[in-house]
């Protein structure tokens, strides 16, 4: 049996239809091009008959994408299939994907037909789609709950009608892996013409088993997985593309299968989809979550410093993430503090490890995660209390409206007070321009995020920013019911961290001079 597993991405069809707001044609094109760079074999990009906007987006993607085969979805209705053919016409090669329900609950309660009528509709749909392309996929909707005799009958009929791919969806995420593997196995054993088509699976995640069911099906002989980036989709979502791709790469020796996915593009594609779809990726999400390659436990960190494969079965670089992150928390051990100090350029003779570690634990208990500049501040005994920050905001005023926004700020820097104003293309931009004029630091904003804490109109807005200064990055955060105020707090927080770094740098120079003088 072929060891190549076809990756069928449906982010722009099944994934997009579950979003709170529809994507624009331009946004869909951006995602389609990213998915193409990722190396997917087939991308399902819409349901053309559903709306003029969907038709246009499918058409534009069909004109643009060259390295992946573009596919569109149709019910087992001639008008749907014709809409797919018309929208996909600009593509060099394309697939039409048509479907109909096959489970008793769908056939009887939704379609209100006899199974033989549904079978006839499926056969006619496949034959009609073959008029436009020789690449036709047929799906047995709710196959996971379809009686096996009916499922075998439908699969055989679809292949005989001309379907080159037959999809077996677990539409409601109901089956367990051993059950789903059994369904695929029975199809291979009982359908006489099954060797004339690729067997595909499309698993939903209602019980959290979409990836497990998909991999069980591959082991039983399925050679196409339908999935989405970050697992987005109806209800609890779909099978995650990044997860099945990395399972087959990491366990290739055991599974004996592979894909055409360019794994180094996974992280970048995930971020783009998350941003454009306005669907944040949970921190503990496999492969692409913010904590997927982070280690907080002291035992884990010790192992990672000795050999990365002690606690990582794949490298972050393999999915396009820069490097492993060892979080400095109260669970970190002395060895991690020593390693981090070495990476900051300090020798063991520059500090007393036990004393520094004790101060570190006290600070970690207070603020949760400790950053590099916090460590250096502890080394030079620079106070961390907010009331001793170098930069403090006395007041700020922001006005919006018209073509631009205006911000004014009264800032205290040490013992000096400064008042500055600036305009910008939005309230936060204007505020940040005013702050930049008020401080003697040349910085850039590398990342900016606004989230919420709590619910309702009185919920708190949280701003997290990353500020770049002289090749180093500093994190700042602010929390307020006013997101403009929170944004100002976040930048001031980061600027105080930069000021501490400047002070530490000066103290290091003084210490070096004293050291040299003592040797003379």
Q: What is the pLDDT of residue 1?
A: 64
Could you tell me the strand order of the sheet in which 444-453 lies?
444-453, 460-469, 472-480
| C-beta separation of 463 from 478 below 8 A | yes
Of the listed ranges 20-24, 61-65, 143-147, the least confidently predicted one is 20-24
As a whole number of angstroms, the distance between CA 271 and CA 289 comes to 10
Residue 31 CB burial class (10 angstroms; 0-12, 13-18, ≥19): buried
Average pLDDT of the chain is: 87
As a whole number of angstroms, the distance between CA 57 and CA 363 comes to 52
Count of residues making up the chain? 520
- pLDDT at 518 exceeding the cut of 90: no
Q: What is the pLDDT of residue 483?
A: 87
Of the listed ranges 12-16, 358-362, 364-368, 444-448, the least confidently predicted one is 364-368
Domain 386-506 of CATH type 3.30.160.270: yes
How many H-runs (helices) and E-runs (strands) does the chain carry?
A: 17, 16
Domains 6-277 and 386-506 share a fold: no
Among 372, 428, 384, smallest CA distance to 405 is for: 428
What pLDDT digit, counting tens, does each position of 461-473 carry? 778 888 999 888 8
Measured between its terminal Cα atoms, the distance across the chain in Å is 77
Element (H, E) at 469: strand 460-469
Higher pLDDT, 90 or 401: 90
DSSP E strands, 223-298: 224-227, 294-295
Q: What is the pLDDT of residue 385?
A: 41
Q: What is the pLDDT of residue 383?
A: 42
The whole-number average pLDDT for the span 337-352 is 75
As a whole number of angstroms, the distance between CA 239 and CA 207 comes to 11
Q: What is the pLDDT of residue 386?
A: 40
Q: Which token pair is 244?
A: 């099945």
| C-beta separation of 443 from 468 below 8 A | yes
Count CB neighbours of 448 within 10 A. Answer: 15
Among 20, 197, 163, smallest CA distance to 95 is for: 163
Q: What are the domain boundaries of the chain?
A: 6-277, 294-379, 386-506
Query: Residue 244 contacts by C-beta under 8 Å, 6 or more apart in sequence?
Result: 7, 211, 214, 215, 225, 227
Of the listed ranges 8-12, 31-35, 136-140, 340-344, the least confidently predicted one is 340-344
Query: Does the reported pTM lie above 0.85?
Result: no
Helix residue ranges per DSSP H, 307-411:
334-343, 353-367, 372-379
Query: Got the DSSP string for 86-150?
Result: HHHTTSSSEEEEEEEE-SHHHIIIII-S-HHHHHHHHHHHHHHHTTT-S-EEEEEETGGGS-HHH
What pLDDT digit, counting tens, does each position of 280-320 carry? 888 889 888 876 666 555 666 566 556 667 756 677 777 87
The whole-number average pLDDT for the span 80-104 is 97
Sign of the Cα pseudo-torsion (160, 161, 167, 170, in order): negative
Of the listed ranges 86-95, 152-161, 448-457, the least confidently predicted one is 448-457
What pLDDT digit, counting tens, does each position of 355-395 carry? 888 887 887 777 677 776 677 667 655 444 444 688 999 88
- pLDDT at 347 exceeding the cut of 90: no
State which CATH number among 3.40.1050.10, 3.90.79.10, 3.40.50.970, 3.20.20.70 fits the domain covering 6-277. 3.20.20.70
Q: Identify the residue whose tokens are 């030079």.
A: 380
What pLDDT digit, counting tens, does each position of 98-113 carry? 999 999 999 999 999 9
Residue 231 CB burial class (10 angstroms; 0-12, 13-18, ≥19): buried
How many alpha carbons fall within 13 Å on the CB side of residue 462?
A: 8
Q: What is the pLDDT of residue 512?
A: 62
Of the listed ranges 34-38, 320-324, 353-357, the least confidently predicted one is 320-324
Of the listed ranges 192-206, 341-355, 492-506, the least confidently predicted one is 341-355
Q: What is the pLDDT of residue 331?
A: 73
Backbone angles phi, psi at 204, to 5 degrees: -95, 165
Q: Which token pair is 44?
A: 């399902």
Secondary structure of 299-313 in HEC code, one letter for each residue: HHHHHHHHCHHHCCC
| C-beta separation of 289 from 268 below 8 A | no
């Amino acid at each position: 049996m072929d060891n190549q597993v076809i990756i069928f991405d449906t982010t722009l069809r099944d994934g997009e239809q579950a979003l709170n707001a529809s994507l624009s044609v331009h946004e869909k094109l951006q995602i389609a091009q990213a998915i193409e760079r990722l190396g997917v074999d087939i991308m399902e990009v819409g349901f053309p008959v559903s709306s003029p906007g969907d038709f246009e987006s499918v058409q534009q993607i069909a004109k643009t994408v060259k390295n992946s085969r573009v596919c569109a979805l149709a019910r087992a209705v001639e008008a749907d299939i014709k809409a797919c053919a018309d929208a996909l016409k600009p593509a060099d090669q394309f697939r039409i994907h048509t479907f109909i329900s096959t489970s008793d609950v769908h056939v009887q309660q939704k379609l209100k037909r006899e199974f033989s009528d549904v079978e006839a509709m499926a056969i006619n749909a496949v034959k009609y789609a073959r008029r436009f392309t020789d690449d036709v996929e047929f799906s047995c909707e709710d196959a996971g709950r379809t009686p096996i005799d009916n499922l075998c009958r439908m699969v055989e009929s679809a292949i005989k009608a001309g379907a080159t791919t037959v999809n077996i969806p677990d539409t409601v995420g109901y089956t367990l892996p051993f059950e789903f593997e059994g369904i695929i196995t029975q199809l291979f054993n009982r359908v006489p013409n099954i060797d004339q088509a690729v067997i595909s699976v499309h698993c939903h995640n209602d019980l959290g088993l979409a990836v497990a069911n998909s991999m069980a099906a591959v082991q039983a002989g399925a050679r196409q997985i339908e999935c989405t980036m970050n697992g987005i989709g109806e209800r609890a979502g779909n099978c995650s593309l990044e997860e099945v791709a990395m399972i087959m790469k990491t366990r290739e020796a055991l599974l004996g299968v592979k894909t055409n996915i360019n794994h180094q593009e996974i992280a970048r594609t995930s971020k783009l989809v998350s941003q454009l779809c306005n669907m944040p990726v949970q921190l503990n999400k496999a492969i692409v979550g913010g904590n997927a390659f982070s280690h907080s436990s002291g035992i884990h960190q010790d192992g990672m410093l000795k050999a990365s494969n002690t606690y990582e079965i794949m490298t972050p670089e393999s999915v396009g993430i820069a490097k492993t992150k060892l979080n400095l928390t109260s669970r970190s051990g002395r060895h991690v503090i020593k390693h981090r100090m070495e990476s900051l350029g300090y020798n063991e003779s520059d500090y007393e490890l036990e004393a520094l570690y004790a101060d570190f634990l006290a600070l970690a208990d207070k603020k949760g995660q400790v950053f590099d500049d916090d460590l250096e501040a502890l080394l030079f005994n620079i106070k961390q209390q907010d009331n001793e920050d170098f930069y403090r905001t006395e007041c700020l005023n922001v006005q919006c409206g018209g073509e631009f926004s205006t911000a004014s700020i009264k800032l205290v820097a040490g013992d000096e007070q400064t008042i500055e104003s600036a305009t910008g293309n939005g309230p936060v931009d204007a505020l940040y321009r005013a702050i930049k004029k008020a401080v003697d630091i040349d910085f850039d904003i590398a990342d900016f995020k606004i989230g919420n804490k709590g619910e309702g109109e009185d919920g708190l807005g949280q701003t997290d920013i990353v500020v770049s200064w002289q090749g180093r990055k500093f994190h700042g955060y602010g929390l307020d019911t006013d997101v403009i105020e929170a944004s100002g707090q976040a930048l001031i927080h980061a600027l105080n961290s930069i000021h501490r770094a400047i002070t530490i740098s000066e103290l290091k120079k003084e210490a070096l001079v004293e050291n040299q003088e003592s040797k003379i």
